[in-house]
Amino acid sequence: MTSNKEAKEGHTIKTFGSIALCDEILKALVEEGYENPTEIQKKTIPILLKGLDVIGAAKSGTGKTAAFVLPILEKLKDTQHHEVKTLRCVILVPTRELAKQISKAISHYSRHLNIVHAEIFGGVSNKLQQIKLQKGVDIIVATAGRLQDHIVNKGLDLSSVNMMVVDEADTMLELGFVKEIESIISLISPQRQIMMFSATISQNVKKLAKEFLNRPVVVEVTNRRQTVKLIDHIAYSVDSEQKKEMLSFLIGSKNYSQLLVFVNTKKMADTLTEHLNLDGLTSLCIHGDIKQPARARAMRKFKAGEIRVLIATDIAARGIDIPQLPIVVNYSLPETTDDFTHRIGRTGRAGNRGCEITLLTVKDYKQFAEIQKDLMLEINKEQLDGFELTEKEHRVARFKRVSLAEKKGMKMPKKRPYVKPALKSKKTTKRDANRKFRKD
């Protein structure tokens, strides 16, 4: 007779075993509470285990990290007993937070394997990272800038790397890391497997894949139009000078205890953090100018519930993974639909319900309408008592009517300009005089 734990473990081995993972990894998955692979994992892991290049697209919270980490560990399990560790895999990410998140996932999934990995990113001593690399590692999770520093300083040789992951590829390319990515790929083994993952497959991602990937398999389990079903959407119209006060009122009146608030600029993050703290709402912010120890401390306090509000710019928030984060606030509307998708993907994760609140000024209406159209959402704009809208909505220019022929691209003949006909002269002609003479 089997215990509940043994029965659960047997069930997990059956479902994940169908995609050929070793017992050590399956045991770790049981301990992590995994029972069934997600859609991205089902579709991606078997392909990666065959050694094929992959372009994977899936929204946040769908198990994308495990989709590439698990097959990497499966491939490395045969090297775990080697006395000297040789670098076999590089995982490139855009931010420190995401590097730490993936590093944590590797630790959990490889707990029963002798796999050594290292985190390489800025804000931490170069020397300490160098010491760990010299001891030997199987995997490094790195930001492009710091990885380049180690390469330039002759502290890292990538020639043995035969697996490379570019995670959040769309973000990395938007941030201008294309040259760094190209340089790093040129240094790894020619016999390599490259995996590119992101929430969306942009034209930049396709261009990079065409240059470096070998006949990649595209795995797209979702697109940006398919938003997480567990997320409720609320939009409040507000005058621009009342946004800070409205956010404070919402947090206090609704008794919200944990909010992730997105802004578009570092200055706004600092200003809003100061305002909320003055209102007695404990808040911290993270952005590019905040040093790594302070960012880590802010994240730790937010997860532990020691602060109510974490304010972040888009890039700094990549890698935030809180399974039960209840509310995300768009204090500033993002410029693109993709950024909106990334933001709301921080909530409604791991089967938990979530809520997304957007604060809109009249100048945001047009962009908000575009986002709703792209994502096929219908979100009514509400107003709160005491925060009635006084700003007027900008007029939208009416579209000129276009004929059917013009729509089809047919050239229409140019119309002649209207010329007012000249009046007849009142001067009597010889003919008119003769007519008059005959009448008389």
CA gap 91, 93 in Å, rounded: 7
CATH code for the domain of 146: 3.40.50.300
Looking at residue 174, its pLDDT comes to 78
Range of the domain at 209: 4-220
Instruction: Identify whether the C-beta of residue 56 lies closer than 8 Å to the C-beta of residue 196.
Output: yes
Looking at residue 199, its pLDDT comes to 77
Residue 325 phi, psi (nearest 5) = -65, 115
Looking at residue 398, its pLDDT comes to 42
Domain termination residue (choose one: 179, 200, 220): 220
Residue 58 phi, psi (nearest 5) = -160, 150
Q: What's the structural domain count of the chain?
A: 2
Q: Is position 282 within any domain?
A: yes
CA gap 35, 41 in Å, rounded: 12
Count of all residues that appear for the chain in the document = 440
37, 87: one domain: yes
Q: Is 290 left (phi over 0), alpha (psi -120 to 50) or beta?
A: beta
Q: Is position 286 within any domain?
A: yes
61, 192: one domain: yes
Q: How far is CA 313 from CA 329, 333, 391, 423, in A?
A: 12, 11, 27, 72
278, 335: one domain: yes
Residue 2's Cβ-count burial label (10 Å; 0-12, 13-18, 19+) is exposed
Domain termination residue (choose one: 329, 357, 382): 382
145, 282: one domain: no
210, 253: one domain: no
Instruction: Identify whether the C-beta of residue 280 lies closer than 8 Å to the C-beta of residue 256.
Output: no
Q: Which residues of 194-216 are buried (b: 16+ CB within 10 A; e: fewer)?
A: bbbbbbbbbeebeebbeebbeeb
80, 177: one domain: yes
Four-CA torsion 409, 411, 417, 421, nearest 10 degrees: -120
Query: If you write DSSP's letter for every residue of 217-230 in order, what string do you get?
Result: EEEES--TTS--TT
Nearest in space to 163 (alpha carbons), one of 74, 290, 34: 74
Q: Is position 162 within any domain?
A: yes
Q: How far is CA 312 from CA 233, 235, 246, 302, in A?
A: 20, 19, 18, 12
Query: If you write DSSP's letter for every residue of 244-256 in order, what string do you get?
Result: HHHHHHHHHHTT-
Instruction: Identify whether the C-beta of residue 35 lies closer than 8 Å to the C-beta of residue 11.
Output: yes
CA gap 184, 173 in Å, rounded: 14
Looking at residue 229, its pLDDT comes to 66
CA gap 162, 24 in Å, rounded: 23
Looking at residue 415, its pLDDT comes to 52
Q: Is position 136 within any domain?
A: yes
- Tokens matching residue 58: 């899936």
Query: Within 10 A of 182 (CB to CB), how many other CB atoms are there?
Result: 12
261, 209: one domain: no
Domain termination residue (choose one: 337, 364, 382): 382
Q: Is position 349 within any domain?
A: yes
242, 158: one domain: no
CA gap 364, 274 in Å, rounded: 24
45, 78: one domain: yes
Q: Is position 352 within any domain?
A: yes
Q: Is position 404 within any domain?
A: no
Q: Is position 388 within any domain?
A: no
Looking at residue 306, its pLDDT comes to 93
CA gap 17, 82 in Å, rounded: 26
CA gap 251, 259 in Å, rounded: 9
Residue type, 305: G
CA gap 237, 389 in Å, rounded: 7
Q: For residue range 320-345, what is the model confidence (pLDDT) as tens digits?
A: 777 778 899 999 999 888 788 878 88
- Tokens matching residue 289: 């100018």
Q: Which 3 state secondary structure label does DSSP give 417?
A: coil
17, 50: one domain: yes
CA gap 5, 238 in Å, rounded: 53
276, 214: one domain: no
181, 239: one domain: no
pTM metric for this prediction = 0.65
The tens-digit pLDDT sequence of the chain (440 residues) is 333 444 344 444 445 657 788 989 999 998 888 878 888 899 999 999 999 999 998 876 678 899 999 999 999 998 888 878 999 999 999 888 889 889 999 999 999 999 999 999 987 888 889 999 999 999 999 999 899 999 988 879 999 999 999 998 888 887 788 999 999 999 999 999 999 998 778 888 888 999 999 999 999 886 555 555 678 899 999 999 999 999 999 999 999 999 999 999 999 999 999 999 999 999 999 988 888 788 888 988 998 899 999 999 887 676 677 777 889 999 999 988 878 887 888 887 766 788 999 999 999 999 999 988 888 888 989 999 889 888 776 554 444 454 544 544 444 555 555 555 555 555 555 555 555 444 44
Looking at residue 4, its pLDDT comes to 40
